[in-house]
């Protein structure tokens, strides 16, 4: 025989520390706290020894004739009987059930008040039984060697509720009165009331009884999320949630919600859950029958599943519609942003780049040329006698000329060049990788165009304009920054202005 291990005792100590002191005190003082009868304790001790022979179990169980009779009844139920002849002895019953299920059966008969009379206790039992069947069935698919222990764990996961009911009957009446509350809501209410919840209290109680630490830990984590690599833990956590959905006032809605959560967690294929649900009513009926408990109102699992799927489908349709709607809003917003962004770069009158954008581009280009030993040229253009034009033909005519000149520049530059309005009637063209010679050719094309194409016709009079242009190329001077380059082009342009206007000058050459 072995007692609780050092690990089990350390766990008990840390769980005691975790609970608020008033709670452990109250729990310890409660005389009627669910406690293990001697026979269950002895069965546990046998279970703790790694190679406990079946005979040991049987010897212990046979000390309690009532328990022996129930165990044989369980083993002879349709659930376990299959085609074998009925078990006559507790040895045959234990052989048929297997050690885990024997342990679960013994614990379930001895732990929980029997027969249950209070509604909350009946409800807790019902959840425990449905969860145990679910956990066993799931384990059968996901971790077949853990069927028995998954069943036991699921059965014990809510033992903390019974401890609360026994210790705080008045508070429990209020706490558990709303039987439509979800399990998560119950846990929140417990925390609010006691500073802890039934998973902690249940784990503490299990540790106090000396149950092995894996069982204690499993109870502690029984209500955590579905994302886990450990299949037995997953079976346990799903079992409670499935039991809740099954027993809820609106099973199809709860189930639809649960199926969605399970799909999101991606830890268990939904078809495994569906297969399980189909066989659930039959198995729950059998177990409740064995335990002399009223079964939950009968549920047509096929109809339930179909309804849950329909709800899920409708939900996903609504979600898709909402997503489409949001996508459309996003597209509009993106278009709007792109338009705003473009507008922040463009001069509204000429539709060329504005000064801010020209300067930003020039700064970047200048840095790139320095870094990669490349060159670039700029052309500074100032329209001649624009004040006179404005004064003579009006400001609106002046605007029209600026607009048309903008179009002219846009049509004459090449891809990769950037033309912009630098100020009033001043324009700048950036020519990446071009020498002053190429820049001059472009300036000559502009000049020719202005000579040949009138910018405006006023009272059948064709109105031609001229421009003074200055060119500066990065390779032709020692420029510290882009500002120096523009100044150089500006100086060359002024040279033309001073020489009588209309013409082209290249920095360093004229
Ligand atoms: N219509 C119009 N006129 C503008 C705009 N921006 C600046 N101007 C005018 O352009 C004229 C520029 O005058 P100045 O700087 O004296 O230059 P200019 O008359 O072209 O003479 P030079 O440059 O010496 O040939 C001013 O009368 C400004 O009002 C604009 O957006 N629209």
**And the tokens for 134?**
């679910």
Which pLDDT tens digit goes with each residue over 292-312? 555 555 566 666 667 776 766
For residue 384, report the distance from its CA to the centre of ligand 1, in Å.
Answer: 8
> Which parts of the chain register pLDDT below 50?
1-2, 78
Atom of ligand 1 nearest to the CA of 424: 6
Strand partners, 473: 377
Environment class of 92 (CB within 10 Å of its CB; exposed 0-12, middle 13-18, buried 19+) = middle
For residue 183, report the distance from its CA to the centre of ligand 1, in Å.
Answer: 79
- What pLDDT sits at residue 434? 96
Residue 79 to residues 90, 97, 102, 282, 362: CA-CA distances in angstroms? 17, 10, 14, 9, 83
Pairing mode, strands 503-506 and 467-473: parallel
Q: Is 389 in the pocket of ligand 1 (CB under 6 A)?
A: no
For residue 30, report the distance from its CA to the centre of ligand 1, in Å.
Answer: 98
In this prediction the ipTM stands at: 0.96
- Testing ligand 1's pocket by substitution, the residue of 424, 427, 468, 502 carrying the most ligand atoms inside 8 A of its CB is 424
Q: Is 425 in the pocket of ligand 1 (CB under 6 A)?
A: yes
Which pLDDT tens digit goes with each residue over 47-89? 666 666 777 778 777 777 767 777 777 676 645 555 567 777 7
Nearest to 280 by CA among 144, 138, 155, 147: 138
- What pLDDT sits at residue 346? 94
Residue 452 to residues 14, 162, 443, 449, 475: CA-CA distances in angstroms? 95, 100, 14, 5, 32
Strand partners, 471: 379, 506
**And the tokens for 344?**
């922040």
Residue 467 region, left (φ>0) first, then alpha (ψ -120 to 50), else beta?
beta
DSSP letter assigned to residue 112: S
Q: Is 399 in the pocket of ligand 1 (CB under 6 A)?
A: yes
How many alpha carbons lie under 13 Å from residue 160 in its C-beta half-sphere? Answer: 30
For residue 424, report the distance from its CA to the centre of ligand 1, in Å.
Answer: 6
- What pLDDT sits at residue 187? 92
**And the tokens for 385?**
């006698």
- Testing ligand 1's pocket by substitution, the residue of 348, 352, 386 carrying the most ligand atoms inside 8 A of its CB is 386
- What pLDDT sits at residue 117? 62
- What pLDDT sits at residue 158? 87
Q: Is 347 in the pocket of ligand 1 (CB under 6 A)?
A: no
Atom of ligand 1 nearest to the CA of 401: 1
Closest residue to atom 15 of ligand 1, CA basis: 387
Environment class of 317 (CB within 10 Å of its CB; exposed 0-12, middle 13-18, buried 19+) = exposed
- Testing ligand 1's pocket by substitution, the residue of 350, 352, 398, 450 carrying the most ligand atoms inside 8 A of its CB is 398
- Helix, strand or coil, per DSSP, at residue 48: helix
Q: Which residue pairs, CB below 8 angstroms and at least 24 apart, start in 358-361?
A: 358/418, 358/420, 358/422, 358/428, 358/430, 359/482, 361/418, 361/430
Q: Is 402 in the pocket of ligand 1 (CB under 6 A)?
A: yes
Q: Is 502 in the pocket of ligand 1 (CB under 6 A)?
A: no
User: Which domains, ranges and CATH numbers included, belong to the chain?
Assistant: 6-33+114-299 (1.10.3210.10), 35-111 (no CATH), 355-506 (3.30.70.270)
Q: Is 398 in the pocket of ligand 1 (CB under 6 A)?
A: yes
DSSP letter assigned to residue 77: S
- d(CA 375, CA 372) in angstroms, rounded, equals 9
């Amino acid at each position: 025989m072995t007692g609780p291990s050092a690990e089990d005792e350390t766990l008990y100590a840390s769980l005691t520390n975790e609970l608020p002191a008033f709670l452990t005190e109250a729990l310890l003082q409660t005389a009627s706290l669910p406690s293990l009868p001697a026979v269950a304790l002895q069965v546990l001790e046998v279970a703790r020894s790694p190679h406990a022979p079946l005979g040991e179990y049987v010897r212990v169980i046979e000390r309690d004739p009532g328990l022996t009779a129930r165990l044989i009844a369980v083993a002879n139920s349709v659930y376990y009987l299959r085609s074998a002849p009925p078990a006559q002895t507790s040895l045959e019953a234990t052989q048929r059930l297997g050690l885990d299920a024997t342990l679960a059966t013994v614990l379930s008969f001895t732990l929980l008040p029997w027969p249950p009379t209070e509604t909350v206790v009946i409800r807790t039992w019902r959840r425990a039984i449905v969860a145990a069947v679910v956990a066993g069935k799931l384990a059968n698919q996901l971790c077949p060697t853990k069927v028995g222990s998954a069943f036991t764990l699921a059965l014990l996961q809510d033992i903390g509720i019974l401890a609360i009911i026994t210790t705080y009957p008045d508070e429990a009446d209020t706490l558990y009165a709303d039987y439509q509350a979800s399990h998560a809501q119950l846990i929140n209410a417990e925390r609010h009331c006691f500073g802890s919840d039934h998973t902690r209290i249940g784990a503490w109680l299990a540790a106090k009884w000396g149950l092995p630490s894996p069982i204690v830990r499993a109870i502690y984590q029984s209500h955590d999320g579905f994302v886990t690599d450990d299949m037995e833990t997953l079976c346990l956590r799903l079992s409670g949630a499935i039991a809740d959905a099954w027993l809820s006032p609106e099973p199809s809605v709860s189930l639809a919600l649960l199926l969605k959560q399970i799909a999101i967690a991606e830890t268990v294929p939904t078809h495994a859950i569906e297969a399980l649900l189909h066989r659930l009513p039959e198995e729950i009926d059998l177990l409740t029958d064995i335990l002399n408990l009223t079964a939950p109102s009968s549920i047509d699992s096929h109809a339930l599943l179909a309804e849950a799927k329909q709800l899920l489908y409708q939900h996903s349709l609504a979600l898709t519609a909402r997503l489409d709607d949001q996508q459309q809003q996003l597209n509009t917003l993106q278009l709007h942003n792109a338009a705003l962004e473009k507008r922040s770069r463009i001069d509204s009158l000429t539709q060329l780049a504005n000064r801010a954008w020209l300067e930003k581009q020039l700064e970047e280009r200048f840095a790139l040329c320095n870094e990669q030993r490349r060159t670039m040229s700029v052309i500074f253009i100032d329209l001649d006698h624009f004040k006179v034009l404005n004064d003579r033909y009006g400001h609106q005519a002046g605007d029209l000329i600026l607009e048309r000149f903008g179009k002219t520049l846009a049509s004459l530059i090449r891809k990769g060049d950037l033309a912009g309005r630098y100020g009033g009637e001043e324009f700048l063209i950036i020519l990446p990788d071009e020498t002053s010679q190429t820049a001059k050719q472009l300036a000559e094309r502009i000049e020719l165009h202005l000579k040949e194409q009138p910018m405006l016709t006023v009272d059948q009079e064709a109105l031609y304009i001229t421009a003074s242009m200055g060119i500066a190329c990065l390779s032709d001077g020692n420029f510290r920054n882009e500002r120096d380059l523009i100044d150089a082009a500006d100086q060359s342009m002024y040279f033309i202005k001073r020489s009588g206007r209309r013409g082209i000058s290249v920095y360093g050459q004229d």
